[in-house]
Amino acid sequence: MGNNPYSYFKRDISWLSFNYRVLLEAKDERLPVYERIKFLSIYSSNLEEFYKIRVSGYHSSLLESINRDESMEEAMKTIVQINSEVTAQEKEYYHIFNNMILPELKRNGIVLYQTDKVEPFHREYVKKYFNEEVFPYLQPMIIQKDDIHSFIQDGRIYQSISLLKKKKKSDKWGYTYAIMKIPYTKIPRFIELPSHGGNHYIMFIDDVIKANMESVFPGYEIVDCFSIKISRDADFSLEDEDRKDIASEILRKVRKRKIGAVTRFQYDKDMPDYFLEYLCEAYEIEEEELLPSGRYLNLADLSSLPNPVGDSLKQKLPQPLRVPELETNNSVLRVLRKQDVLLHFPYQSFDYLLRFLLQAAFDPKVLEIKVTQYRVAENSAVINSLISAAKNGKKVTVFVELKARFDEMNNYLTSELMQQAGVKIIYSLPGLKVHAKLAYVRKRSNDPDDPIKGYAYLGTGNFNEKTARIYSDKGLLTSNKEFIKDIDEVFRVLEGKPYMHDFKHLLVTQFNMLPEIHRMIEREIEHVKNGGIGYIILKMNSLEDKGMINALYRASEVGVKIDLIIRGICCLVPGQPFSKNITVTRIVDAYLEHARVWYFFNAGEENIYLTSADWMQRNLYRRIEVAFPIYTESLKRQIIDILKIQLTDNQSAVWIDENLQNVFKRDTAPIDAPPVRAQQATYDYLKKSTQQ
């Protein structure tokens, strides 16, 4: 590696750049205030998971003195770099919250208290609420450094209190320390207070408790009270588990997640040193785990901030479009016998996929349904359709990925429900996650030489009707016989049956995906070397694999033009001699950009693949992923047109520069350039195309 001329961004520093871009949405005064608050919530939620999973890996390497990827010294350096960047971002976070969001709420008649000093007209209400709704659930505990003390639960807000006995004020060493968990499962984080003077008032439960702290500790003077929170290691590995034991092993490890090692100790930055030092000593908090923050922690809870004013302060999302060819015919299956249908979520309705599954459940010609499930919605209509199919006599097989992080328990409970209804459940493959999004509907065939007939759905996102409202994904409904044969092969792999390996059209990781991607990149290189044009567009969530990045660098060096649309992690460094023909665009807007699309110009033939796979080590080497080509010219044109819309976005899009900065295209676009907001423009494009 010493001779490698290329450079790369660090994966986790790149991710922080993405999360900062999410934070920047909260600054955008063009958005309604509750949309901006939503992005503050998403930023905090993202960061919490980041510390539970990614930062925990660096801490583990320090404890074990070994690391698969980096030395101990490098791990510590990365933790310091991460904490430094997060501290700077959190400073801006609270600036946005305090100096932009709160005044905007006030302008709209909403006052969010930022103090436990209650206005006279609210004192009686707050005291009564505390005594009746909060006090019964409080469990204050004294902290003794050298004694057994309370366990701080993962992700919960605690109030740490320093006290003085009222008779011993003169004794500066006479502090007593206590800790008290906010009982958030019993009471809401935000309390709506009576309106006054034309304003609506909202108070953090933290402040309701602080305002009544004296009644919790009678006989003491409250000296200081600050919020603290611990994030714990939530990652676990299941590389070598036997398939038959994997469900019980996953459930065992999920339950242990709550008591994992500390990865972050957040505290109010105004906490005095004497107090912080005491807590660190009592709970054995290391310096690299310390993250100063603001008065209020767990601001992912802002997603539940009451909105007493109503829809005028929220983002208005357009209604999903109807698809004409599926509207003019009641039977989705009948339509698919004549043509492929491409669905664009959430611009078009997810109902069509539900209708597809439900009609398959009741079609007498359908014998069998097979589906992969990665993240299952609660009370899922998809699952209900599969249960209906099983009860209607169809053979139904569902591959449930129990290793879908943070959805393990929900996936397990849902699979138990399906099993009770007669659905055959296949759990995770040892050492691999199944991330492919496939449904296969097999119908009766009268041809013994061609028994594999039916319909299929191939997608870039999960079979999840809830996320389909906010995730931008694509899915193909088809009865293409060649696709059906390949999909049948994929399911044979998942079921542990004998298979041929010979995928003719689909690209499948562990089999033909990697060599085929490299072949298509090399083909663009050859076109340029032969005097032609080489052009690649890649849209995905993350780009991290160095082998893939090196292939793109080599293509750029010979003159292949490459436009990347990467929402999250991007380890490729633009603006270098070896990447001079590569641009990196990031789009963050109302919907989460989630579709993965590969475009290769191929001397004008224009090859398009849709896929579940990002170009990450985990996707390419430790998962089952599927990419599928689009052959219908009209559907290819739709996808290409939408890619071009996204590349011309100059409102929500940023360039990623050589310093990993988010450079807004609207700040660099020509003054006379018409404004293009890709998500709105995509909706308008699809609406127009359905009216033709």
Residues facing 446 on adjacent strands = none
- Catalytic site residue 435? yes
Please tell me whether residue 662 adopts helix, strand or coil conformation.
strand
Angle at 212 between CA 209 and CA 217, to 5 degrees: 100
Q: What is the DSSP string of 80-119?
A: HHHHHHHHHHHHHHHHHIIIIIHHHHHHTTEEE--SS---
φ, ψ for residue 674, nearest 5 deg? -65, 140
- Beta carbons of 22 and 92 less than 8 angstroms apart: no
Q: Exposure string (b/e) for 286-311, b if CB count within 10 Å is 16 or more?
A: eebbbbbbbbbbbbbbbeebebeeee
Do the Cβ atoms of 594 and 460 come closer than 8 Å? yes
Asked if residues 382 and 463 have their Cβ atoms less than 8 Å apart, the reply is: yes
Q: CB–CB of 378/408 below 8 Å?
A: no
Cis peptide before 346 (omega within 30 of 0): yes
User: What stretch of H or E contains 596?
Assistant: strand 596-600
- Residue 508 backbone class (left: φ over 0; alpha: ψ -120 to 50; beta: rest): beta
**Among the options 435, 501, 505, 594, which is catalytic?**
435
Helix or strand (DSSP H, E) at 647: helix 633-648
CA angle 464, 467, 473 (to 5 degrees): 90
What are the structure tokens assigned to 291, written together? 């993250």
Whether the Cβ atoms of residue 587 and residue 566 lie closer than 8 Å to each other: no
Q: Are 189 and 244 in contact (CB under 8 A)?
A: no
Alpha-carbon span 571 to 586, nearest angstrom: 13
CA distance 33 to 315: 9
Burial profile 240-261: b = 16 or more Cβ within 10 angstroms, e = fewer: ebeeeebbeebeebbeebeebe
Residues annotated as part of the active site: 435
